[in-house]
Amino acid sequence: MFKLEKCRKIFIDFDGVIVDSNKFKEEAIQHAIIKLLGHTKNNIKAIEYFNINAGISRKKKLSLFFKEKDISQIMEIYSKDCKKFFSTANPTNGLKEFLAYLNINHKNIKKYILSGGEKGEIEYFLNKNSLNDFFNEILASEKSKVNHFKEKQVEHNDIFIGDSNNDLQASIKSGIKFILLEKYKSLKSFPKDELIQKNIILKTTNFESLIY
């Protein structure tokens, strides 16, 4: 078990952690790109890169492969599909209970959503599931996760709960503790075993195991 006595901030990733959305998003970006631009080598390469690099801003990823006009159209299709998905999606197992536990037992810990996703989509999901009041702030795609950590002046005992290689790399660069939640993972973006063994304090299936 990990200890929270010295923790002042907990950051929680969104896709694959707060909501089981990894598989959906992998299919949604493929749908958006192929629908708009067809089945070309460049487009398939872009889809693969997009999905391997979960946790990074979608616009930043798409800009490596497409012009600004195409990026805007891809993101419009993708965002519409995301909103439809989030309108019926539920929080992952034990999330609400874990957040309530923190509110009761660790009132001084600030809680943030830290995501490469769009802030509006995250807010929409939180509102639909009555989760807004649990979080101090949503930190989304306008900055990288490392830059968000810098702005929040993270310390060694702060914790990031994530599910991807980019999540783990951001925690390593920022010098904070990392919990790997793997039940809703994508094999495309999940960290390698060697990196996991050396750099996490806990690997777990869902939030229920964090309540004690």
What string of DSSP letters covers 68-121?
Answer: HHHHHHHHHHHHHHHHHHHTT--BPTTHHHHHHHHHHH-TT-EEEEE-SS-HHH
Is the Cβ–Cβ distance between 111 and 120 less than 8 Å?
Answer: no
pLDDT in tens, 110-133: 999 999 999 999 999 999 999 999
Q: Which pLDDT score is estimated for 71?
A: 97
Q: Which pLDDT score is estimated for 211?
A: 84
Q: Which pLDDT score is estimated for 208?
A: 87
Q: Which pLDDT score is estimated for 2?
A: 63
Structure tokens at 18: 């707060």
Q: Which pLDDT score is estimated for 105?
A: 92
Q: Which pLDDT score is estimated for 148?
A: 98
Regions of the chain with pLDDT less than 50: none
Q: What pTM, to 2 d.p., does this model score? A: 0.95
Q: Which pLDDT score is estimated for 206?
A: 87
Question: What is the b/e burial string over 54-80, where b = at least 16 CB atoms within 10 angstroms of the residue's CB?
Answer: bbbbbeebbeebbeeeebebbbebbbe
| CA atoms in the 13 A half-sphere facing the CB of 11 | 31
Mean pLDDT for all residues in the chain: 95
Q: Which pLDDT score is estimated for 96?
A: 96
Structure tokens at 48: 């693969």
Is the torsion defined by CA of 191, 53, 129, 160 positive or negative? positive
